[in-house]
Structure 1
Amino acid sequence: MSLPAEPPPAPAPESGPPRPVTVGDRSPLPDVLRGLALLGILVVNVQDFAGFQEWTQTGVDRVVQVVTDIVFNGRSISLFAMLFGWGAAGLLVRHGSGLLARRLTVLLGLGTLHGVLVWHGDIISNYALLAFVLLLTARLSTRALLGLAGVLGGYWLVSGVMLALSYWNSPRVRSAGLPDLSPGMTYAEVVAGRAATFLDDLIGGSLYNGPWLIALFLLGAAAQRSGLLTRPHEHRPLLRRLAFWGLGLGLPLGVLLAWLNTQTSLAAGLIAIPVRMGGGLASALGYVGVVGLLTVQDRLGPLRAFAASGRVALTNYIMQSLIMTTVFYPYAGAQFGRWGAAPAVLLAIGVALAQLPLSQWMLRTWGSGPLEKLVRTLVYGGRR
Structure 2
Amino acid sequence: MSNFFFPSSKISFFFKLCNRLHNFLYFCHRNHKIRYLEMAKRDDVTIYDLAARAGVSASTVSRALKGHPAISEQTRQKILTLAVSMGYQPNVFAVNIRKKKTYTAGILIPRITSEFMAKAVTEIQRILNAGGYNLIISQSDESYETEVKNALTLFNSRVDGLLVSLSNETTDCYHFQPFLQKAIPVVMFDRVLPGTNAVTVTVDNFQGGFLATEHLIKQGRKKIVFLSGPLQCDVYRRRYEGFVEVMKKHGLAVSAGSVVECQLSHEDGQKIIRDFLKKKSLPEGIVCCNDLSAAGCITELNKNNVKIPSEIAVVGFNNDTVAGIVNPALTTIHIPVDRIARQAALILLQLMEGNKIHSPRHISFPCHLVIRNSA
Q: TM-score, normalised by structure 1?
A: 0.22
Q: TM-score, normalised by structure 2?
A: 0.22
Higher RCO, 1 vs 2 (CA within 8 Å, ≥6 residues apart): 1
Q: Between Structure 1 and Structure 2, which shows a larger proportion of helix residues?
A: 1
